[in-house]
Each structure stands twice: as C-alpha cells, then as structure tokens.
Amino acid sequence: MLYGRVKERAALDALLTRVRAGQGGGVVLRGEPGIGKTALLGYAAERATGFRVLRTTGVEPESDLGYAALHRLLLPVLDRVDRLPEPQARGLGVVFGQATGPVPDRFLVALATLSLLSEAAGGRPVLCLVDDAHWAAWPTLSTLAFVARRLDAEPVALALAARADEGRPLDAAGLVDLPLAGLDRDAAGALLAAGDQLSEADRAELLRATGGNPLAIRELPASALRAAGSGEPLPLAAADSSGPSSSGRSSAMPPRSACSCWSPRAVPGGWTRYGAPRRSFREVPNRTRPASLPISSSRMVRRWPSGTR
C-alpha cells in the first residue's frame, strides 16, 4: 500500500490518461534513497491497465556501459527491429551487439529507440519504467531524454526515478520534474500504524527524526527510540530478512538484515545509516565505522552508501 503522495499519484494518473488519448510524455521522480521513488513506479505500473510495461533499472557496475540499461528496457520488443527503417535497425543492432559495423551516430540510436517504441505502441499503449536512472550510462540517459521530448503524438509514457545529487545528472528538459520530500504527518503516521506498535511519544520522535522518509520510518527499530530517550548508544538493526518490505518502498526495499545499523548524527537534516546491503558492501575503515553511536541530536542526516536503493 502506498501512503500519501497525492500530488505525485495525480501526476502519474494524468500522464497515463493522456497516453490513452494518444499523447505521451515523461516524468522524472527525484529524491533521496528510501523516499518512495520505486513505490511510485510500482503505482504507475498498477494503474497502467491495458498498457505494455517495459522496465529497466540502472546498476552501478554497468554505469559505464553505454547502452546497457537501454538494452534491458527494449529487450522485450527487439523482435520488432526489422520493421524500422534499415539505417535505424542497423544502428540499434550495432550498439546492442547484434550486428557489425561502425559505431552509429547517437542521434540515429535515439531516433531508432523512438521508432521502436512507437512501433511497439501500435497495438496498445506503452509504459516505460526506469528505476535508479542515476546509474544509467550517459548515452542511455541522453537517448531517453531525446525520446521523452518527442512523445506528444505517441501513446508512450516514460517514467524515470533517480536519486537527487548522485550518479549522473539527468536532463529533465521536456519532462515533468517531481522532486519527492518526506511524507506528510498524516501519511507518515498511517505508515507507522501499519508497523510496530509504538507509544505516542515514540511515534512523535520517530516522525520528527526521520523527516518523513518511508524507509527510515519502517527500518529504524523501536529499540533505537528507547535508547534515544535513555542516552544509550543506538543498537544495530536486526530483523529477519524474510520479513515484509516497507509499504512506502514496495518490494524493492532492502531487507532489514541488510543494514549494519541506523545511526543518528549531531548534524541537522535527518538520519544516517552505516553499512550497506551485503551484496554490495564496501568496507569502511574501522576507525570511521562505529558499531553504534549515542544519540545527541533530535535530527539525523540521510547519508546512504553507494549501491543501496
């Protein structure tokens, strides 16, 4: 269940309505990790009844592989490449390793991508979802931006999610830009009510400390709040990795057991998490990676290690 996000859901619904009428477009969801970008992409997919949904996700290990993310997006419709004009079909074939020849001009690749999506939308509208777009390589990002600015007469929607101020910058010209802040108090309270039972005092402290970040609300253990009140160090977060994911982050949220600890810092702005999912953990020198820290501020800084979602 998605809590709050009335404005963002309305923008996505409006985009899908326009696409059903044959007028496409694009939207970019920007925000810090855990703020709900993936959940909103999931909402768009659920609302896209009758659409063909194409998906891709940027991953850091492939961030220097020019068209890797684009290849994953277009893979389900590559069987239609032979319907494109020959230069465009050859250009995509070369960059995707299906044909030999000189490296094609980027404009040709972008034009071929637009043509392929238009061809795929001939029978029913198409929704393209790109998560973690900040990790996509620049050729993919520039191609997607090119396509998004030329969808006015195509039944194609493009929705991208990217972290703010991380990875490669995304050219949002011609796209609807939706920066995501923390959940409002009512939505954050509803998210809290769906999880652990907390006292009113603990609830108020958690909402204030997390700044409405859905991941932080669900993952910061109640024991940390009790430690906060007692002045004790913040304990490591521990929970079964098979437990439910946060409703505010959908199924893409990292499991609780993937986190080393949640640790507040005496710096204004939010919360900090030390550690990373085991699949992409990068060792931090022991002298700078404490197992726990005393809480000395009512705010925490949101600072996530590379590789988390």
Residues 16/47, Cβ–Cβ less than 8 Å: yes
Residues 84/70, Cβ–Cβ less than 8 Å: no
| Residue 173, token pair as written in the block | 């010209």
The predicted model gives 287-295 an average pLDDT of: 36
Domain 6-179, CATH class in plain words: alpha beta
Instruction: Answer positive or negative: Cα dihedral of 145, 137, 58, 2.
Output: negative
Q: Are strands 176-179 and 156-163 parallel, antiparallel or unpaired?
A: unpaired
Most confident of 65-79, 233-247, 285-299: 65-79
Query: Coil, strand or helix: which one is 262?
Result: strand
Q: Are strands 156-163 and 126-131 parallel, antiparallel or unpaired?
A: parallel
Report the chain's mean pLDDT, rounded to a whole number: 75
**Is residue 207's pLDDT more than 60?**
yes
Q: Are strands 52-57 and 126-131 parallel, antiparallel or unpaired?
A: parallel
In which residue are the tokens 């999931």 written? 42
pLDDT over 70 for what percent of the chain? 69
| Residue of 115, 83, 145, 96 lying closest to 104 (CA atoms) | 96
Instruction: Answer positive or negative: Cα dihedral of 262, 268, 270, 273.
Output: negative
How far apart are the C-alpha atoms of 137 and 69, rounded to whole Å? Answer: 8
pLDDT in tens, 148-176: 999 999 999 999 999 877 767 777 778 89
How far apart are the C-alpha atoms of 155 and 267, rounded to whole Å? Answer: 47
What residue segments make up the domains of the chain, in order of their start? 6-179, 211-288
Q: What is the pLDDT of residue 197?
A: 67
**Is residue 269's pLDDT more than 50?**
no
